[in-house]
Amino acid sequence: DKTFTCTLFMPFEEFEKITTGDEVIEFFQKYFPDAIPLIGADALERDYFRLPAQAMVSVKCSPYHIGDKCVLMGDAAHAVVPFYGQGMNAGFEDCIVFDEIMNQFNEDFSAVLPEYTRVRVPDDHAIADLAMYNYVEVIQFNLYFIFSGMLRSRCFGF
């Protein structure tokens, strides 16, 4: 539909410094000038303030069940930061694994739910860890290129 989504990752203090539409445009002119014509200045000014800055969280819990009556899946059981791109896939996999275990134990929830917890918790905790490790790697990778770019520009004049 020719619209854009913009997600900014920065410290809360930086978000708090931007309090007006003009400051939003100044921020984007400084850091993301090519985004302004794509998104539009009016949309940036309007949309920036629609949703407040929020913390990114990971959820690691165990067990994923209560007795034979309740089971957690997807983000309710294992929300992950978005830096690995596998959170939704892990939720879909929860459904597949749950279905397989349901078949294996003839839909006996007293057996299915503990087995589901036993099988899924290690994998889901691993995907949460991988997402955080990938975040650290992305930051280090970007810092390397920022730093090396600064050195090249000083040494070679471009």
**For the packed helices 109-156 and 87-104, what is the interaxial angle rounded to 10 degrees?**
160
Instruction: State mean pLDDT over 54-78.
Output: 92
More confidently predicted of 94 and 86: 94
Residue 133 scores a pLDDT above 90: no
Find where tokens 């791109």 sit: 85
What average pLDDT does the structure give for the chain? 85
Residue 66: helix, strand or coil by DSSP? strand
Find where tokens 């983000």 sit: 75
Residue 3 scores a pLDDT above 80: no
* The pLDDT of residue 157: 36
More confidently predicted of 141 and 29: 29
More confidently predicted of 149 and 82: 82
* The pLDDT of residue 11: 81
Q: Is the dihedral of CA 5, 10, 15, 20 positive or negative?
A: negative
Residue 1 scores a pLDDT above 90: no
